[in-house]
Amino acid sequence: MVRAELRATGPLRGPRRPRLLRRTPVTATPSATELPTSQRSPVTVPGVPDLPAQPRPGLSPDPDWFRTAVFYEALLRSFADSDADGVGDFRGLASRLDYLAWLGVDAIWIPPFYPSPMRDGGYDIADYTGVDPRYGTMEDFHALVAAAHERGIRVVIDMVLNHTSDTHPWFQASRRDPDGPYGNFYVWADDDSGYADARIIFVDTERSNWTYDEVRGQYFWHRFFSHQPDLNYANPAVVEAVHEVVRFWARTGVDGFRLDAIPYLVEQEGTNCENLPGTHRLIAGLRHMLDREFPGTITIAEANQWPADVVAYFGSPQAPECNMCFHFPVMPRIFSALRQGTATAIRDVLAATPPIPAHGQWGTFLRNHDELTLEMVTDAERERMYHWYAPQERMRANVGIRRRLAPLLADSRAELELAHALLLSLPGSPCLYYGDEIAMGENIWLPDRDAVRTPMQWDHSANMGFSACADPAALTLPLIDAAGYADRCVADALADPGSLLHFLRHLLRVRRKHPVLGHGDFRLREASDPTVLAHTRTEVPAAGGAGGETLLCLANLADRPVEVGVELPELAGRATRTVLATDPDTAPPAVDTRGKLMAALPGRGYWWLAVAPNRKEDR
């Protein structure tokens, strides 16, 4: 059993509270040259031919790095296995850092790697300050962070604040000793009638938010699976313990924390137990601690809510909360727009997105390790999405669709390019999901969301280069065997200059050259045809300074060519140049003297145009 990290020093309601017993103090992270040879990332990726050596610029001191960053979610257990046990690990991920640097990502997001029964992909944590032996050691983690930083890649890890595993020592102590120091670490009740207005999130598997515990003889509260009891944040000792956990990992040098499922931290009768003021006070307190003790370490809110609710998780200038918040509702609208052949759904959700504080940034994505959530759509929209994208019941999970990007889009290269061009031009910092850059497939016959968590496909060696494990049955999950997808791999994509992988690398390089796409002002533009989404990204000049760069981004959601007029009155008479286009050889159009730009776009076409500055502004 995992050893408890907290030692009781007295009852919770007394003057003394539990405190975290730290492991060996974390010293400064060693440089790559100080690491044993076995822990250094090789120049080339094993099994991938002729990967060029990558520059190693190190990290910049910019505290706003996240505004222009492209994130990459690397599911540790499925990314790369270094020791042939069938499970991806830290050393495996470290061996692929040069590949990620070549691709052009700025940060990797690593989902939970803590000790866990793995009943929820590691989000059921049994020890907050440990490393599951399947993934390596704490020293391996330190080496990974050092190697990533050497390449200018930052590291963000998951922090699950809402719940633990029911195997966690805190919960085991709480159920066995109600009057002990952990008795009040979770939410207990004599019956299951409390908080009746709170919805059940995992409707496929749970019938109640309460579960009876035979040992304690009471019910415990859980917003997710019944094996994941919620922590009791009404207890100051829980708040203190969680702060100590975050401090522990911040000392390793990580650059940020994705805060999982934060809308549900606090309960209150007569409410739906979501987005309550007490929750916001907790997040603001955590941010205050990080800003004071670990400046530049960011937090990202995973709050699957409407933008009007999510925007509150940025906090205020006086009491900031998260640096970033994921914008969940925009994702299904992109998929909906592709099938409707009109930009209306995307325009509507962006128009309904409230302004955010200057210190905040949206996070965006097309797919990730969870289902494509359909909670933030109408019933009619949900039914259409199921019809278009999940015709088989096995493709659905909870209130969403458990499929990968390429199969969702019927492996259409045009749609894959357009979807990524949209992702990288809309407000926010985009996050890519491992394997989507090579259009990996899915396995809908695996349980729950494992359909989209299968091993990364690197080359044509054993187990597609993911692992040298002799027994395929020992792999963390089975390899993809779907026709058309089973043989796809990084090696082939690298060898083909026309592959999706090379396209995405080019796209990321273009975005890096135009930071306005990360921090520029966003403005929807009137287009003469509803099939086209038109918007500008404009650098806001400093007080008294000249105007910055303006990009006009066009996207044709229809599968037919269209000629569209875009209204740009304040840009009248300006020339443009092509930054990115479906057909880069087409001459870029100018904005006429009436402030109108006419553009011809192919079906599923995109065009990013840099607008020439006004000569008067240059004087």
Supply the residues annotated as catalytic.
Answer: 260, 302
Strand boundaries in 161-272, DSSP class E? 188-189, 210-213, 218-221, 256-260
Residue 580 tokens, joined: 């990115």
- DSSP class of 51: P
Strand partners, 325: 301, 362
Residue 82 tokens, joined: 């270094």
Residue 480 tokens, joined: 């993809």
Q: Return the sign of the alpha-carbon dihedral for residues 378, 384, 390, 393.
A: positive
Residue 363 tokens, joined: 């996070």
CA–CA distance, 152 with 60 (Å, rounded to integer) = 8
Helix or strand (DSSP H, E) at 121: none
DSSP per-residue codes, 426-492: SSSEEEEETTGGGT----TTSSGGGGG-PPP---SSGGGGS---S-GGGSSSPPP--TTTTT--HHH
CA–CA distance, 568 with 550 (Å, rounded to integer) = 11
Is 528 in contact with 564 (CB distance < 8 Å)?
Answer: yes
Alpha helices in 231-343 (DSSP H): 236-250, 277-293, 307-310, 330-340
Kindly tell me the burial class for residue 232, based on how many C-beta atoms sit within 10 Å of its own C-beta (0-12, 13-18, 19 or more). Answer: buried
Select from 485, 498, 488, 500 the least CA-distant residue to 419. 500
3-state secondary structure string, 556-616?
ECCCCCEEEEEECHHHCCCCEEEEEECCCCCCCCCECCCCEEEEEECCCCEEEEEECCCHH
